[in-house]
Structure 1
Amino acid sequence: MTDSELDAVYTQLCKTMTELGEAHAPLYLARLALLAIDRIGDAGAAMRLIADARDHA
């Protein structure tokens, strides 16, 4: 993914969260995370991403 594509994806994520509203954002992010984990298809990689996200929160 190029920097431009990453920026476009991040922008869409932010817009979608804004549209859904603060009350629905946590459920949306949880669903997005589950879909991404399923798409990754590698439990070890998913566990490392979960730890990385925790460590940088």
Structure 2
Amino acid sequence: MEEPNSERIITPMPKSLVEALDNYRFETRAPSRAEAIRRLIQLGLEAAKSDDGKD
């Protein structure tokens, strides 16, 4: 789901992380690497938000 004023972010990653990303992409049938990255970021942000008060 792309917003009208989306920004492109270029981030170098180790090969092992790219392989894990591609595995996630194929397991979840994400249409592209970019979509898989967006989904994982969203999941991470939601998890971080729910963990904020649990120290």
What is the TM-score normalised by the length of structure 2?
Answer: 0.38
Greater RCO, 1 or 2 (C-alpha within 8 Å, sep 6+): 2
TM-score normalised according to structure 1 size: 0.37
